[in-house]
Structure 1
Amino acid sequence: MRDIGFLKVADLRIFTWRVRNRNELYSQKRSPEFECGGQRWYALNPTVSAKSPRLIAIDPHISSGQWHSNAQFSLGMSNIYDPTVFTVQHAHHRFTKQASDYEFQRFIAPGKLFTIREGQTRPIIEDGSVDVSAVIRVVEDSKGVVWSRLVTYDSKKETGYVGLINQGATGYMNCVLQSIFFIRSLRRAIYQIPTEGAVPTDSIALALQRLLYNLQTSNGPVATTELTASLGWKTRDVYMQGDAHAFNRLLQDNLESFMKGTSVDGTIEKIYVGRAKSRIKCTDVDYESVMVEGFDDIELNVGGMKNLRDSFKDYVAVEILDGYSTPQFGLQEAKSGLIFESFPPVLRIRLKRFAFQRGADGFELVPTTGRYEYPTEIDLSEFLDEAADRSTPWLYKLHGVTVHSGDLKGGYYFTYIKPDRKEGWFKFYNDNVTRVTEEEVLGNCGGESIGTPSGSTDHSITPGLVKTSTKALLLAYIRDSAIDEVLAPLRDEHIPRHLRMHTDDETTESTPDEKKNLVEEQSYLDVKVVTDSEFSRHGRFDLATIDDKNYPPSDLPTFRVLKTERYAAFKKRVAERLRHSETKFRLWVMVIRQNKTLRPDLCISENEWSIFVVNRPNLDLTSDKQPELCLYLDLISDDPTEQDLARESRLLLLKFFDPASQTLNGVGKVYVLQSDKVSALVSAINKKMGWRAGSPLLLYEEIKPGMVEPIKQDRTITQCELHDGDIICYQPADFEQEMWRHGRYSSAIQYYDFLYRQVIVTFRPKDNAGTTAEFKLALIKDETYDEMAAKVGERLEADPSKLRFWTTYAGDGALKSVVRKELNESVDELIGSGPSSFLILYQRLETSAS
Structure 2
Amino acid sequence: MLKHGTTIDATMMAELLPLGEGLETLEETHNTWSIQDWGNLQKKELGRAFQCGGGSWQILLYPEGNGVDKVSIYFQLVHDPIKELKNWHACVQFALVLWDPKSPSKYVSHAAAHRFNTDEPDWGFTRFCERKKESKSLEGDNSPFSDKAWALQHVFSALQTASSAVSPTKLTDSFGWRALQLFEPQDAQEFLTVLLDSIAERLKVTPCRDAFRSLFTVEIKTNHSCVKVACRWSKEEESRHIRLNVRNNRTLMDSFNEYTSVGLLKGFMTGDVLKEQDVTRHISFDHLPSVLFLYLNRVEYDVKADAIRKLTDYHEFPEEMDMSQYLSDKADKSKPWDYLLFGVVVHASSGTSGNYYTFIRPKPSGQFYKFYDDRVTPATLKQAMSDNFGVPNAKPQISTKGLEPYYATDKYTDKTATMLIYIRKSEAHSILEDVLESDIPEKTRPLPYALQRPAHLTVSYDSKPTKEGTAAIDAQGKELKAAQESAASYMSVKFCSNKDFLSHHGFDLMPKFPEGYKSAIPLSYSRISESMVVKTLMTTISNDLGITGKAIRIWPLIARQNGTIRPTGPPLDPEMTMGDARKLHYPRLPSVIQLWIESEECLYGKKDSQGSSLVFLKHFDAVNQMITGFGHVYVTPDDTPNHLSPTIRKAMGWGSDAVISYVEEIKPTLIENMDGEKTMKRLEIGDGDVICFQRSLNLTEYGSLPLCYSSLTSF
Normalized against structure 2, the TM-score is what? 0.49
Whose radius of gyration is greater, 1 or 2? 2
Which of 1 and 2 has higher RCO (CA within 8 Å, sep 6+)? 1
Normalized against structure 1, the TM-score is what? 0.42
